Amino acid sequence: MKTKLYRLSGLLLISLQSSLPLHAAGDMTQQQAITVKVKLGNTDNALRFYPDHLRFETGKLYKLVITNPSPQKHYFIATGLSHAVFTRKVQLLDKTHNTIAEVKGIINEIEVYPNGISEWWFVPVKTLSSTTMHCSISGHAKAGMTGRITIK
């Protein structure tokens, strides 16, 4: 009877350990951001993302620097990404790279004017095998201003 009780206790302990949440190692607030850059178009007014495939990993802090070197405004829309990350902030920068505004919360889209710069600070919390990014200005996505994002 005692042996059965020990076995049952052991199974219960194993069961409880496997159901406990996993915690990230270390102090995540002390991470150095990994900078990833994406350009919305180019100076020749091409309707593309440069690069058109972005890759991220869960649990790491990223600073996605979104620049617009083209002569027209563009949108950076990545709904799948925005639902798979914890957004720390979005910073809007002036021409001399000084922060002029910060946005907090869930980010659905970022509009970047010609020669503008935005920095989206986030930590991916969910994997994505593939999601899209696009510019929603009429005709831009159809002309090729689309791309893919993966989170491993």
| pLDDT of 19 over the 60 cut | no
- Please tell me whether residue 10 adopts helix, strand or coil conformation: helix
At 41 the pLDDT is 95
28-151 has which CATH code? Answer: 2.60.40.420
- Each as own residue / partner, the long-range contacts of residues 20-29 (CB below 8 Å, 24 or more positions apart, any chain) are 24/59, 28/59, 28/61, 28/123
Say what the pTM is. Answer: 0.80
**Is residue 16 pLDDT above 60, yes or no?**
no
For 47-89, the pLDDT digits (tens) are 999 999 999 999 999 999 999 999 999 999 999 999 999 999 9
Q: Give the burial class of 110: count Cβ atoms within 10 A of its Cβ; 0-12 exposed, 13-18 middle, 19 or more buried.
A: buried
Q: Please return the burial class of 69, using the count of CB atoms within 10 Å of its CB with bins 0-12, 13-18 and 19+.
A: middle
Residue 46 tokens read as 């091409």
